[in-house]
Amino acid sequence: MDGSPVTQSTQAFFRSCVRQADDASAAAIEQRIRIGPWNVILRHMSRSTCGPYSDAFRHLKWGFDDDLDLTIYCIETKSCGFDLGAAPWARDDIGSMGEILGLDGSSLSALWDFQRNAIHMLDSSAKTGLIIIEDAEDLPGWEYTFPLRNLLHWHGLSQGCTMVHAGAVGTDNAAAVIVGVGGSGKSTTTIACTNAGLKMAGDDFILVDPSRDPCVYSLYSTAKLGAQSSAWFKGLHGKQTFDIGDDFEKNIFFVDALGAGRMCENLPLRLIVQLEKTGSKQSELVPCGAGEIFRACAANTIGLLPGHRSKTLQLLAQLSRSVSCCTFRIGTDLDDIGRKMAQKLEGMAR
């Protein structure tokens, strides 16, 4: 076995977990989902992980017959009875976000959330991931809104894609990524655009391929709105989808609560906008530099996705250079927000 001691112990632990899961495959519950550009099998070793790790994907295509791109084992130790042993890492092996250090140069990525006793691992060469939790009932509320994000991000990086903490809206011919810090109006702007007839690829995390023909892929069907923003959209009254407890401050909706057909699986990317609140009634889109957009994307994303920061930054820089960039000075008229975005994208369709 090659590599550093951390790589060796991580690989041995990973293989042991996969072997036990494979030995118990007769009891596994499989979900076959097209997530982003990939055919993914979620292999649940007990029913308790099915909802938390798949409900947010319910707008995507389920079932496929062609080649498999990624297998993810979802293991709840409380119910499956596996003897996984102790996690192989010392405290000095763990970074500030729980990422396992010392795996550079290998195909492995790993995170240990020791506060919640959860482990996330991916072997990109084997196209296999693991998420191990002790008890699904103890999952924090936000885990339901963007499940498996670390595994999907790490896999994406190995394929030249990156997740971005952003919304995305558009038409079949042109889409925009919407970035902004917390409280900037990102979710409100995204939902306002769907009210104007645009499709939505995501509200919180999206997957972007910044290659020669940039594309944005939908991952999650959830939308998050604060109480005041929720009140602005009358169609959402009483449609909060689930209660995720006191650890989250926003109302959570599955986007089908807004009406059928609002979500899409992927869109051609033509524009990235950063948000700026003005306090005026009307909104306007004004050009800005790629450097501004890169900084906005990086500030909004890099602190939420552990590990591989240099690769993530490289892809975000490529993304900001590959499409048009604007500042969206958003006003208080929600209809005008959606109308201005729709007009801009109509003019960019090709």
Pairwise CA distance, residues 114 & 99, whole Å: 11
- pLDDT score recorded for residue 242: 52
- pLDDT score recorded for residue 252: 73
C-alpha closest to that of 23 among 45, 55, 3: 45
- pLDDT score recorded for residue 311: 96
* Non-local CB neighbours of 124 within 8 Å, separated by 6+ positions: 107, 108, 109, 154, 155, 158
Q: Give the model confidence (pLDDT) of 327-339 as tens digits.
A: 999 999 999 999 9
pTM of this structure: 0.92
Q: Give the model confidence (pLDDT) of 271-304 as tens digits.
A: 999 999 998 999 999 999 999 999 999 998 999 9
- pLDDT score recorded for residue 223: 80
Query: How far are the Cα atoms of 101, 130, 149, 262, 328 from residue 74, in angstroms, in the given order?
Result: 23, 6, 13, 29, 40
Question: Is residue 19's pLDDT more than 70?
Answer: yes
Q: Give the model confidence (pLDDT) of 247-278 as tens digits.
A: 455 677 777 666 657 889 999 999 999 999 99
Written as one letter, the residue type at 305 is L
All structural domains of the chain with their residue ranges: 5-145, 162-348
Q: Give the model confidence (pLDDT) of 31-41 as tens digits.
A: 999 999 999 99
Confidence class for position 140, pLDDT limits 50, 70, 90? confident
| Cβ neighbours of 214 (radius 10 Å) | 19
The percent of residues above 90 in pLDDT, for the chain, comes to 67
- Give SS3 for 278: coil
Which run of H or E residues covers position 194? helix 186-195
Question: Is residue 235's pLDDT more than 80?
Answer: no
Cβ burial 162-200 (10 Å sphere, 16+ → b, else e): bbbbbbbbbbeebbbbbbbeeebbbbbbbbbbbbbebbb
CATH 3.40.50.300 fits 162-348, yes or no: yes
Q: What is the largest CA-CA distance in the chain?
A: 63
Query: Are residues 103 and 109 in contact, defined by beta-carbon separation less than 8 angstroms?
Result: yes
